Structure 1
Amino acid sequence: MERPTPNMLAPDPATRQPLLRLTGVHTHIGQYHILHGVDLQVARGELAVLLGRNGAGKTTTLRTIMGLWRASSGSIHFDGRDITRLATSDIARAGIAYVPENMAVFSDLTVRENLVLAARDGPLDAARVDWICGFFPALRMFWHRPAGNLSGGQKQMVAIARAIVEPRKLLLVDEPTKGLAPAIVHSLMAAFRELKAQGATILLVEQNVHVVRALGDTASVMDGGRVVHAGPMAVLAGDAALQQRLLGLSLDTQP
């Protein structure tokens, strides 16, 4: 039996135009110049993967899109609108959700209260909660427990659930599988696939090569604070020499 699906329509391929576009984005954090002219596009309805060695600027890129760190120059356009100088709260209202690497759940609140707080447009949608719990059944088990008492994997489930408790146009997700058990990784992958099938656009920073190969439509590789490669995931996945040059690893590595 199919799970209930959220109120999102699958995209027509003819409408797959950039939903997100970064042009020449520089970001400074204090005295440090982190992003050096990032150019990045994410098409509407795709799952784009942002790759690169540690320190390449991937997390800074996500945080700059979200307005948590301010671009010092360049522009960020989302859904046809310049969001470069918007406050983080306004960027969220425009339809972008962010799941940081540190999970960022409210530890003193229950799982339910975390989701209620994330449901900005009103009460929790029971059908959507059921849909989310189809991927993460443990959420029901811990529904009334403080999120701070959960394991790392369970907190990650709460963080993902918070981001998708209402339909979003774009999800920014930073290394969601880091340190998680294989069964939870499998559930996360299934959730991302169904979100994409229902029309979500996802920009994913991820180091798990199995997840990258299985989910990615496109791959952008960062090095030294800029994007040095962008194209279909199939192109990168099919070129071992390119993988070694850009990433220092093979995407054929087994999980």
Structure 2
Amino acid sequence: MSAARPPEGARSSERSEEVSTKPLLELHGVHTHIAAYHILHGVDLVVPQGQVTMLLGRNGAGKSTTLRTVMGLWHASQGSVVLGGKDITAFATPQIAGLGVAYVPENMGVFADLTVKENMLLAARSAKRAEQMDAARLQWIYKMFPAVEKFWNHPAGKLSGGQKQMLAVARAIVEPRELLIVDEPSKGLAPAIIDNMINAFAELKAQGVTILLVEQNLNFARRLGDTVAVMDNGRVVHAGRMDAFAADAQLQQSLLGLAI
């Protein structure tokens, strides 16, 4: 895959290692309640600027709730969410998106009855018509996700699961972003599509985009992640370098119940 440039436009465990890069996103003691349920129990998380942070954990650990809390879809009942030094804890989702944050949920959020073009246009807030979208940026996206160009005028609901995932990520980056948040990008994808997705995220990182990914595929996490945070029971129980975590099978087994 080409490396074309885009157009201009925890609370840690005792085994955690320090991260030298300054943080873009920080969560401090975040608690989140959903109706009567207390889901997050004091999440401390640091996402270094310009790096890929993997958020791992067993099912029900609170990973997706953490992402939704960052995006303001659910609001923290205690603690703070800080983006680029700005406290965004009480911000509404549109305000957070306006700060250069894009979010791809686990269900991808693709509008099945709209074409690929129409899905992309909805995300391009600076354009009212397809012709007004940044042509150079679209060409860059096509190089990473050829299916977006190939099925441009097709209903998104007719795409395969992998193609829908590509569309969801492409839509998130149709305009320049500071932070990309993606929930389980490799879920249900074939190995060849996973490789393509990894290459795309690596290219985005090379252009300075900070990325936070929830992932269950440990091999995907190992290949792409710079830092890792592991959640359990609504808390971050380990944070550190991904390479160190990938090399410690005993730690993986104790925290996740499986090893890379």
Secondary structure of the structure 1 residue equivalent to 2:53: strand
Structure 2 distance, partners of 1:171, 1:35, is 21
Partner of 2:133: 124
Alignment map for 1:16-27 (pairs within 5 Å) = 16-27=21-32
Alignment map for 1:28-177 (pairs within 5 Å) = 28-122=33-127, 123-177=132-186
Write the deviation string for residues 110-159 of structure 1: whole angstroms up to 9, x where unpaired.
10111111111233111111111112212222100111121211111110
AA at the equivalent of 2:106: E
Structure 1, unaligned runs of 5 or more: 10-14
Number of positions where the alignment pairs a residue of Structure 1 with one of Structure 2: 246
Shift of 1:169: 0.4
Write the deviation string for residues 71-130 of structure 1: whole angstroms up to 9, x where unpaired.
111000001111000000000001110000101011121101111111112331111111
Structure 1 distance, partners of 2:50, 2:3, is 20
Residues 186 and 215, structure 2, Cα contact 8 Å, conserved in 1: yes
Secondary structure of the structure 1 residue equivalent to 2:26: strand
Alignment map for 1:216-235 (pairs within 5 Å) = 216-235=225-244
Instruction: Give the fraction of aligned pairs with identical amino acids, expressed as a percent.
Output: 65
Shift of 1:177: 0.8
Structure 1 distance, partners of 2:63, 2:24, is 19
Shift of 1:8: 6.3
Shift of 1:67: 0.4
Residues 8 and 198, structure 1, Cα contact 8 Å, conserved in 2: no
The correspondence for 2:253, drawn from 241, 244, 247, is 244
* 1:180 matched to 2:185: no
Judging changes above 3 Å, is the alpha-carbon distance between structure 1 residues 82 and 34 closer, same or farther for their aligned structure 2 residues?
same
Residues 119 and 166, structure 1, Cα contact 8 Å, conserved in 2: yes
Residues 5 and 128, structure 1, Cα contact 8 Å, conserved in 2: no
Shift of 1:7: 3.8
Structure 1 distance, partners of 2:226, 2:64, is 20
Structure 1 distance, partners of 2:243, 2:68, is 27
Structure 1 distance, partners of 2:99, 2:68, is 16
**TM-score, L = length of structure 2:** 0.91
Structure 2 distance, partners of 1:69, 1:225, is 15
Moved over 3 A (4+): 1-4
Structure 2 distance, partners of 1:239, 1:179, is 26
Structure 1 distance, partners of 2:59, 2:8, is 35
AA at the equivalent of 1:77: V
Partner of 2:6: 6
Query: Which stretch shows the higher mean deviation, 131-140 or 94-103?
Result: 131-140
Residues 3 and 203, structure 2, Cα contact 8 Å, conserved in 1: no
